[in-house]
Structure 1
Amino acid sequence: MKVKVRGIYSTAITKLLLDEKIEVTQAAEAIKNALKIEDESKPDIIIEDTETKEGVYIYGNGSEKIVNLLKEKLKMSIFYKEEIGKIYCGIIKNTDQKAKSIVISLPDDEEGVLDLKSFWGYVKPGAKILVQSKGTYDGKIMLSTQLRIFGDNIIIIKNGFTKMSKGIHSNEGKTKLYDIAKGLNLKEWGILWVQGAEDKEEEVLKQELEELQKKEAEINEKFNNCNEPSIIYEGMNKYFILFDQNDKNELDKIRKTAMPTIMNHHKLKSAGYTILTDFAENLLDKYSDEEINKKINEVLLRYGPVKDKLYRLAFTRLNGTSFKIDGIVSELVVKDDEVQKLTINSRSEWGDRIYTLEKDLDYVDVLRNGEKERMLVIKPEIFPKFAKLITFDITAKKEENEIKVQNEDRLERLSKKGEISNELKDKMSQVINEMKQL
């Protein structure tokens, strides 16, 4: 097993993997030199930053071993598992005309959503349908009828085109693969050539295509014989790991054993303060970590937040997607050069809202039309122009003189799937009880 690690967490994770005797390949130059890595071969697993830099995503054969290792070290982080490419025998439940989608019944009482535009034919409730997951959004499994079957060097795509992955750069390699594709019996399938395919012999690639076409025949046979929601093909797993501040501190400690590292290294880099962080780490031989951290806090505070000025709340969902809320700072509490409490007023087409967050609280107060709600989050990280928050999409609000918690069972479901530790589940359950005291 070989792992490629890129992004702001790469040094810490690489050091952790090497300490566990796991091979790392294609490392960045600075890490190669610091940790004496020479391997440049093709990786089995890739670890990269999420879009919002709040964590990493991991994919590839054997990813579960890496995820389990990180679970042992990082107890307060979220390990969200996204099942991509799973093929189902689904049953059409109904249509949602408002969302312009078809609701599909899936195994284990789950439901998926298929875009109405991608479905050709009459929508008949109770009819079976062959669909594939392409990820989740807002807690729903998003489905497609354009199937993909995954191989090591090839992904075949129903009614698709022949194309290259972004990792194939050489014109010679691209020409070779296009020429091979022309000579293949693809029928109604297209090919996505995976990075590394250009180095394989033509016979190896042809044999792999034959194996994938056999899988297609097996999928069709299973679908023809199914009468209820079932899984026909497993696809692949992709893991989104979102780090809380305590676990970012743990990664700081691990990185410090490999190269000079200041306090809050990963917190600062995840917010885009790369130059500031690199500069500060060059001063560690002259000043203590505490002195540097104090000065950084002083400098950042000079730039904001500022009362009556624009500010942004940047939320990351468990699956790595994000949304932003902009508003005006109306209240600000500062102590020891750190923002302790922050309130912003936001106006949008959905109505006016007032958001209040505190540095040491795992929820955000929301005031909307005079009614108060609370959102469960990982403790906010507050910076001059924005705050970063990880949201569980669990909300407490008063309805008809009763406090109701939307998605309260989500913690239990995450725990059962191994996506959060018992420690994090217990902590957040206590926070939900606090949220109910509206």
Structure 2
Amino acid sequence: MPGYGVRVRGVYATALAVLFRERGFELADVSDVLKSRLGIEGSGRAPEVTVKSLDDSPDEVLVLGYPWEAGVEAERAILEAVGYASVVRGRLGLYTVVDAVSLGGCRLRLPGGVEGRLDARECPPEGVVVRGTVVREAVEPGGEVVVRGDVRLVGPHVVVSAPGRGVSFSEHLRREEERAPLLAAILGRVDVNEVHVHFRSAARLADPEAVAVEALELARRAVQLHREGPGGGEAIVTRGEYVSIIYLPRPAKEELDRLRASVSPTVEGHHSLKAGGREESMMVDVLEEALAGGACTPRAGRVLEASLARRLQGRRVMVDHRRPDRSVTRLGPFTVSRVEASGGRVEVVLERVFTAPGVLDGLGVEKKPGDRAVTRLSTDSWIVLHEYVSSDGRPLGFYANVNTPPEVSSRGFRYLDLYVDVVKRPGEPPRIVDAEELEEARSRGLITEGLYERALREAERAAGILEGLP
């Protein structure tokens, strides 16, 4: 495997740096904190891959790679290391130049059977072939691929667009002393009245002359591809950046805890707690200062988790029911009726009283106002058990949801749903349901093989548990 350069940022940076170094990648654009922790200087090269946690969804990491194979290899390294994870991949890649067929109304038929939208003031007639660049990938639930009608070519240090005009800089290139040499190097060599040059953050790591050579080469190619125009049908003209988003459930975070602990004091549950919110993150920092000074043990992280759960008792909370396709359903509100913690495990009982009539999903049983749901979850269990009871105390049925072990935060609980569930109506045997959705997630590459196999085992275990219930 080529020694691709990888830049890591965010909640998982230290653990990922250890992971990538163990797997033959070269760490690039290394932060001062990481240099100190790992005892390295890091490479001054531009990274081929960037891996960073998402600010608005810190349970996930974004993988961006150019060339394409670099992103594929980095993603594979993460998934192999953590074992249990879900992943949503871009179909075409950012800055991929495509020929696409108009479907009318600015809708496009793109290569590989993908549909997308042309971002343009005027829509071409149906059947016309257009050339453009992918500027947005469909990695959000219900998201769409968006194409703009220019040619944008990406390199390690610049993105060049044709037609275009002028220059722009990454927000990370703030200082004039960084910008001025780059601008001076391309003026007079690249016609910025014909193309637009955007300097990426990695440009600050490179010799301005080398950046200018890259910009000139990309400009010539971009102008050529734009003038050439589209071919006769859908095609990938040039491949851009690989993009994927990996969700890291509790077991994956625990593996990353182990990697981080090899180079820095780390409490148990570090990444789960850090991803839970600002308050939890600050408390973890305090505990790890104490750990470094010998004032506590790594087990203090589990104590913090139990404390967070106990603070929820009596409160109304929501449960984030996240699926591998990145869709999220917020279940609740529940009232936390009981919290018990021992041996590093937290067990919670949630209760909810229904206020509207309807039908209990999966069971096909009518629910009425005043009926109750009692939900039991444990931080070491892959099963969340819902018991439904009528207002007069009659059992209505059980629903066992198969998911990754729940995580605790000051706001409630979260887990990754694995689609397959087990239901039991009173007096009937349990039934495994929605197994086809799990199979589909596997066939689409949304979950790792390890997660697929574990879900099947847990469904069988849940059926055994429900077998002994009335």
TM range (shorter): 0.7 to 0.9
The residue type equivalent to 1:154 in the other structure is V
SS of equivalent to 2:216? helix
Q: CA RMSD in A?
A: 4.3
The residue type equivalent to 1:209 in the other structure is A
1:171 counterpart residue number? 176
Task: Check conservation: 1:325, 1:346, Cα contact below 8 A.
Answer: no
Deviation at 1:390, TM superposition (A): 4.0
Distance 1:259 1:122 in 2: 55
Q: TM-score, normalised by structure 1?
A: 0.76
CA distance change for structure 1 residues 198 and 90 in 2, over 3 Å: closer, same or farther?
same
2:103 counterpart residue number? 93
Note the 1:52-131 alignment, pairs <5 A. Answer: 52-61=57-66, 62-82=70-90, 83-95=93-105, 102-108=106-112, 110-114=113-117, 118-131=119-132
1:280 counterpart residue number? 287
Deviation at 1:17, TM superposition (A): 3.0
The residue type equivalent to 1:157 in the other structure is S
Note the 1:335-374 alignment, pairs <5 A. Answer: 335-336=340-341, 338-342=346-350, 358-359=377-378, 360-361=381-382
Instruction: Provide Cα deviations, 1:300-343, integer angstroms capped at 9, x if missing partner.
Output: 13421534x3x344566758x77674853346453336343445
Task: Check conservation: 2:442, 2:449, Cα contact below 8 A.
Answer: no
Distance 1:429 1:221 in 2: 54
Task: Check conservation: 1:314, 1:387, Cα contact below 8 A.
Answer: yes
CA distance change for structure 1 residues 192 and 139 in 2, over 3 Å: closer, same or farther?
same
CA distance change for structure 1 residues 196 and 230 in 2, over 3 Å: closer, same or farther?
closer
Deviation at 1:246, TM superposition (A): 1.4
Task: Check conservation: 2:99, 2:230, Cα contact below 8 A.
Answer: no
2:406 counterpart residue number? 380
Deviation at 1:404, TM superposition (A): 7.3
Instruction: Provide Cα deviations, 1:364-423, integer angstroms capped at 9, x if missing partner.
Output: 98x9xxxx99988544323231323446799999xxxxx8789666413333xxx53322
Task: Check conservation: 1:17, 1:23, Cα contact below 8 A.
Answer: yes
Question: Structure 1 residue 242 and structure 2 residue 243: aligned?
Answer: no
Task: Check conservation: 2:27, 2:42, Cα contact below 8 A.
Answer: yes
CA distance change for structure 1 residues 215 and 346 in 2, over 3 Å: closer, same or farther?
farther
Deviation at 1:150, TM superposition (A): 0.6
SS of equivalent to 2:6? strand
CA distance change for structure 1 residues 298 and 68 in 2, over 3 Å: closer, same or farther?
closer
Task: Check conservation: 1:327, 1:345, Cα contact below 8 A.
Answer: no
SS of equivalent to 2:265? coil
Q: TM-score, normalised by structure 2?
A: 0.71
1:267 counterpart residue number? 272
SS of equivalent to 1:336? strand
Instruction: Provide Cα deviations, 1:197-242, integer angstroms capped at 9, x if missing partner.
Output: 3565665444323322343255347753223x22222111023222
Distance 1:31 1:411 in 2: 36
1:13 counterpart residue number? 16
SS of equivalent to 1:73? helix
1:155 counterpart residue number? 159
Question: Structure 1 residue 301 and structure 2 residue 317: aligned?
Answer: no
Task: Check conservation: 2:383, 2:462, Cα contact below 8 A.
Answer: no
The residue type equivalent to 1:275 in the other structure is M
2:447 counterpart residue number? 420
Decide which structure has the larger Cα Rg and report it: 2
Identity percentage of aligned residues: 16
1:231 counterpart residue number? 236
The residue type equivalent to 1:387 in the other structure is F
SS of equivalent to 1:266? helix
CA distance change for structure 1 residues 408 and 211 in 2, over 3 Å: closer, same or farther?
same
Distance 2:145 2:297 in 1: 50
Distance 1:50 1:364 in 2: 31
* Counterpart among 27, 33, 36 of residue 33 in structure 1: 36
Unaligned runs of 5+ residues in structure 2 are: 356-360, 362-372, 389-397, 424-432
Task: Check conservation: 1:364, 1:377, Cα contact below 8 A.
Answer: no
Deviation at 1:252, TM superposition (A): 1.6
Task: Check conservation: 2:99, 2:231, Cα contact below 8 A.
Answer: no
Distance 1:27 1:125 in 2: 49
